[in-house]
């Protein structure tokens, strides 16, 4: 399978199939940079509130920061008001992102209770209005990320996909779970295949790709154009290079060594400090260290002790003492 084969979203060339999913609290600038270096072909930002931009929320500005090195990059907005979301899309269009994505898949209660994220799947008419208004407001390609449906009784990914295509979207990403499932159970890849058959715009498959073999299986079973990887990349940016090697050669590369994990944690920490300062950067590294070390010897002790870490030197000492080669 040729993983290096380029394809397009609108007029934006994507150099290969591998896509880092947008994940709130995870895909910030430092982590995106690491995943890009490890082989992700398209990078997605954390979701950004259209209302947050509208009201000039101080928490929103850092989420809009993009490094030209990570391009092509997709910036994800969420909201449910067609006027606000289209006006904010136009307002930020000059930023150095390549693709604008609208979140219609987030299952988190505080988003869903505002009728945003995956709640939009309950209102196909509003979905069409949002996509139509935003696609007319900007020149950059527009994509939409959806789920299988809101509940198992209201599976409507195919209907929504046709609506967003007709309304002007250039691609669609489908997570094979309902909102009701959250992240439990198994992702239904059959719905991704059905969406791929129903529309002519590129379709990105998402859900349960946690190994090189699963990445290949997703493409074979669904025919999807892109492979979106979310939770399986947390603490595991190597997943992109390992999938790439497997799809190109058929060989499964070894998992990273303890030394490679150690070095990656420290590199990640240095990037966090560079962008956010030591105080915030080290506190944000705590969850990443837990993900990086999951399943390793002493990982429980590392998770416990990392919550006391406040400086880079303390982190360096911890990973060197606890993560044996």
pLDDT tens figures, 59-85: 999 999 999 999 999 999 999 999 999
How far apart are the two ends of the chain, measured CA to CA in Å? 34
pLDDT at 325 over 60: no
pLDDT at 323 over 90: no
Handedness of CA 270, 274, 279, 283 (dihedral sign): negative
Residue 109 has pLDDT above 70, yes or no: yes
Question: Which one is catalytic: 35, 44, 106, 224?
Answer: 106
Question: Would you call 162 exposed, middle or buried from its count of C-beta atoms within 10 A (0-12, 13-18, 19+)?
Answer: middle
Question: What is the DSSP secondary-structure string of 290-314?
Answer: HHHHTTSTTHHHHHHHHTT--SHHH
pLDDT value of position 183: 86
* Cβ proximity of 221 and 195 under 8 Å: no
Residue 224 annotated in active site: no
For residue 182, the model assigns a pLDDT of 85
With cut-offs at 50, 70 and 90, classify the pLDDT of residue 3. low
Query: Residue 175 and residue 117: Cα distance in Å, rounded?
Result: 13
Give the percent of the chain with pLDDT over 70: 98
Q: What's the whole-model pTM score?
A: 0.95
Measured CA to CA in angstroms, residue 33 lies from 72, 77, 118, 263, 322 at distances of 12, 20, 28, 15, 26
Phi, psi at 25, each rounded to 5°: 80, 5
- Reported in sequence order, the residue ranges of 24-138 that DSSP labels E, i.e. its strands, are 42-49, 73-78, 99-104
Average pLDDT, integer, range 103-126: 96
Whether 37 has a pLDDT exceeding 70, the answer reads: yes
Tell me whether residue 159 is exposed, middle or buried, using C-beta atoms within 10 angstroms of its C-beta: 0 to 12, 13 to 18, 19 or more. middle
- Whole-angstrom Cα distance, residue 321 to residue 174? 42
Q: Enumerate domains of the chain plus CATH numbers.
A: 7-249 (3.20.20.70), 258-322 (1.10.1200)
pLDDT of residue 254 exceeding 90, the answer is yes
For residue 324, name the pLDDT band (cuts at 50, 70, 90). Answer: confident
């Amino acid at each position: 399978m040729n993983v290096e084969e380029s394809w397009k979203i609108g007029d934006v060339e994507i150099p290969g199939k591998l896509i880092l999913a947008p994940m709130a609290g995870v895909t910030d600038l430092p982590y995106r940079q690491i995943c890009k270096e490890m082989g992700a072909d398209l990078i997605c930002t954390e979701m950004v509130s259209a209302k947050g931009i509208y009201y000039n929320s101080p928490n929103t500005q850092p989420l809009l920061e993009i490094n030209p090195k990570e391009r092509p990059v997709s910036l994800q907005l969420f909201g449910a008001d067609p006027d606000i979301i289209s006006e904010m899309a136009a307002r930020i269009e000059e930023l150095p992102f390549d693709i604008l994505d609208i979140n219609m898949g987030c299952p988190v209660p505080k988003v869903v209770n505002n009728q945003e994220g995956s709640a939009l799947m309950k209102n196909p008419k509003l979905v069409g209005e949002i996509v139509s208004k935003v696609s007319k407001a900007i020149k950059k390609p527009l994509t939409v990320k959806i789920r299988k449906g809101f509940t198992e009784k209201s599976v409507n990914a195919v209907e929504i996909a046709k609506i967003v295509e007709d309304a002007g979207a250039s691609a669609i990403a489908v997570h094979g779970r309902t909102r009701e499932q959250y992240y439990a159970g198994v992702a239904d890849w059959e719905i991704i295949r059905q969406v791929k058959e129903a529309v002519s715009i590129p379709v990105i498959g998402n859900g349960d790709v946690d190994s090189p073999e699963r990445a290949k299986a997703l493409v074979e079973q669904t025919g999807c154009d892109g492979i979106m990887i979310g939770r399986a990349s947390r603490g595991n940016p190597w997943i992109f290079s390992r999938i790439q090697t497997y799809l190109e050669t058929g060989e499964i590369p070894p998992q990273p060594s303890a030394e490679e994990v150690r070095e990656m944690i420290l590199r990640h920490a240095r990037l966090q400090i560079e962008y956010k300062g030591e105080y915030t950067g080290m506190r944000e590294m705590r969850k990443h260290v837990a993900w990086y070390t999951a399943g390793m010897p002493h990982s429980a002790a590392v998770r416990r002790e990392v919550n006391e870490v406040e400086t880079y030197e303390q982190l360096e000492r911890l990973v060197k003492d606890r993560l044996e080669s």
